[in-house]
Amino acid sequence: MSTEFPSKNGIERRWHVIDAADQVLGKVAATTAKLLMGKHKAIFTPFLDTGDHVIVINAAKVKLTGKKEEQKLYRHFTGYPGGLVEIQARRVRATKPIRMIEDAVFGMLPKTKLGKQMYRKLKVYPGPKHPHAAQQPVACEL
């Protein structure tokens, strides 16, 4: 008896919808990363992308615990000398609420080409609507 090895063509990818309204950011990100990597499947292989597609809706309504709304900083570098930009989580939520989920999930994925390939299967929307109804996504509980 031999173990079945997943091939690139034989991987079945499903679509999942996660509603982030009134959910803690870390729990949403951890569940999303697990689905993107395929760790919930029996055929999980660390060096293959066996994960599913994930749609996160209501990203603007995600919760931050403690004083993170005021103290958490999102940083990016412009490429110019002295170009480090730091923005509070409160301002990020007001301007780009999608970035909060995307940064948290990206930090939980592998830091390789494979991780970037998994990240491309993530779709985040600030409101309750998404254009992926044709893929028949399944609601995922946290």
Is there a domain that residue 71 lies in? no
Is there a domain that residue 39 lies in? yes
Among left, alpha and beta (phi > 0; psi -120 to 50; other), residue 53 is beta
In which domain, by residue range, is 125 found?
15-65+98-139
Is there a domain that residue 35 lies in? yes
Is there a domain that residue 32 lies in? yes
Is there a domain that residue 112 lies in? yes
Total domains, the chain: 1
Q: What is the rounded CA–CA span in Å between residue 4 and residue 100? A: 38
Question: Where is average pLDDT lowest: 7-11, 53-57, 116-120, 124-128?
Answer: 7-11
Is there a domain that residue 124 lies in? yes
pTM: 0.92
- CATH classification at residue 117: 3.90.1180.10
pLDDT at 3: 79
pLDDT digit string (tens) for 64-98? 999 999 999 999 999 999 999 999 999 999 999 99
